[in-house]
Structure 1
Amino acid sequence: MTADLTDLLADARIVPVLTVPDPTTAAPLARALSAGGARCAEVTFRTPSAEQVVKAMAAQGDLAVGAGTVLTAEQAERAVAAGARFVVSPGLDHEVVARCRELGVPVVPGVATATEVMGALRAGLDTVKLFPAEPLGGRAMLRALAAPFPGVRFMPTGGIDAAGLPGYLAEPSVLAVGGSWMATPALLASGDYAEIRRLTAEAVERSMRWPT
């Protein structure tokens, strides 16, 4: 990972993970997240409109917008063309990593085992996404993986909620935490951007208690 994104994630400490079916909600969503103090966001490529959402959110200019759930090199290309500043994958795919390198964009692959962490290290990466963090065993699993890899920083994501955020941020190996509770599909569907802003601000305030 490039130093600029490492610094961004270290400062942000939280990464809102967004699944946005309707691209018309992208701009007000970006404004609500920014108003809540978020510095970056991850738009998952789980919907047909993901590229439009990345483009619309990036155009707001206040957030570093990345693409998540990137499964193929072709998706990585489309994400970067839409304006994604970083790429996140649920697993370690060496074609995705290689294409991101060619495109000059940082990539954070998902890992669930020590073997995958070793694969990421061999690929020259020292920041990985522990996914799905809670189903894998939560903080106990994080500590078990971090112990033999002291130079690796983790971005745990998957099943983490507001109550669990402080515990993860207290772990020395954690660079940032990804979570979807700040902008759930239900909040997006109802257009409750005030609540999205409130939840984001609450998460940001909590994250400031646990600097890197």
Structure 2
Amino acid sequence: MSAKTEKLLSLLNGQPVVPVLKIANVADAVPLARALARGGLPAIEITLRTADALEAIRRVAGEVEGAIVGAGTILDARQFDEAAAAGSKFIVSPGITNELLAAAKDSPVPLLPGAITPGEIMAAREAGLRFLKFFPAEQSGGIASLKAFASPLADVKFCPTGGITGKNAADYLSLPNVICVGGSWVAPDDMVKAGRWDEIEALARAASQLGR
């Protein structure tokens, strides 16, 4: 196992759910991250799907003690470098490309790339990656696919994301090759917009106990 895979596992192992966040208002980033951390989910993924995403990452990295902020929806080397410079502790991409692998090779920030086919998983494995995002999980065979990978690709672990909810997360977490799951249900848009941080903290606390 590569040092970067070990680093990524050290960041995310032990936290069953990684909140996947789309920050529409940058002012929400810090109180949201604090609420999630108080609830037991310090590692979060802020997706680069909004104009303020990089600023949100900067603020969380600089202002929320104990937070482990990662950047998601990274599609190319430029975004990888920008996210790392903003303070991301890990980088998440929906897929795997040679450009991203090259960017990750030259960076101390570990990459969690998406992979759903045996070929993609083997390509990541050849690059020294043993911990991958399985995305989009539900649309790509979900639990059945991950069970099928467990034997032939026994040394590869996954973080399924996409269609994961509070109702099916525990089923995914019961699989031997699943370390954690990614999901947005712990920070519903309406709660974030209304600043209902106590309710989000409660959702995070419940999610932090899944699979235990």
TM bracket, shorter-chain basis: over 0.9
2:158 is equivalent to residue 154 of structure 1: yes
For residue 184 of structure 1, report the CA deviation from its aligned partner: 2.2
2:71 is equivalent to residue 76 of structure 1: no
Contact kept in structure 2, 1:36 and 1:200, CA below 8 Å: yes
Query: In the alignment, residue 72 of structure 2 is paired with which amino acid?
Result: G
Q: TM-score, normalised by structure 2?
A: 0.94
2:135 is equivalent to residue 121 of structure 1: no
2:8 is equivalent to residue 5 of structure 1: yes
Query: In the alignment, residue 95 of structure 1 is paired with which amino acid?
Result: E
Of 137, 148, 153, which aligns to 1:133? 137
2:105 is equivalent to residue 101 of structure 1: yes
Contact kept in structure 1, 2:161 and 2:183, CA below 8 Å: yes
Of 15, 20, 45, which aligns to 1:17? 20
- 2:67 and 2:101 map into 1 onto residues whose CA distance is 23
- 2:148 and 2:49 map into 1 onto residues whose CA distance is 30
Secondary structure of the residue aligned to 1:183 is coil
Q: Counterpart of 2:208?
A: 204
Q: Which runs of 5+ in 2 are unaligned?
A: none
2:51 is equivalent to residue 48 of structure 1: yes
Of 86, 92, 95, which aligns to 1:88? 92
Q: Which runs of 5+ in 1 are unaligned?
A: none
For residue 83 of structure 1, report the CA deviation from its aligned partner: 0.3
Secondary structure of the residue aligned to 1:132 is coil
Secondary structure of the residue aligned to 2:205 is helix
2:191 is equivalent to residue 183 of structure 1: no
- 1:200 and 1:97 map into 2 onto residues whose CA distance is 32
Query: In the alignment, residue 165 of structure 1 is paired with which amino acid?
Result: A
Q: Which stretch of the first structure deviates more once superposed, 124-133 or 186-195?
A: 186-195
For residue 142 of structure 1, report the CA deviation from its aligned partner: 1.2
The alignment covers a number of residue pairs equal to 208
Q: TM-score, normalised by structure 1?
A: 0.94
Contact kept in structure 1, 2:124 and 2:130, CA below 8 Å: yes
Between structures 1 and 2, the one with greater helix share: 1
2:37 is equivalent to residue 34 of structure 1: yes
Secondary structure of the residue aligned to 1:66 is strand
Secondary structure of the residue aligned to 1:206 is coil
Q: Which stretch of the first structure deviates more once superposed, 69-78 or 181-190?
A: 181-190
For residue 36 of structure 1, report the CA deviation from its aligned partner: 0.4
Query: In the alignment, residue 151 of structure 1 is paired with which amino acid?
Result: D
Secondary structure of the residue aligned to 1:111 is coil
Q: Deviations over 1:72-103 (max 9, x none)?
A: 10000000010000000000112112112212
- 2:57 and 2:30 map into 1 onto residues whose CA distance is 10
Secondary structure of the residue aligned to 1:37 is coil
For residue 178 of structure 1, report the CA deviation from its aligned partner: 0.7
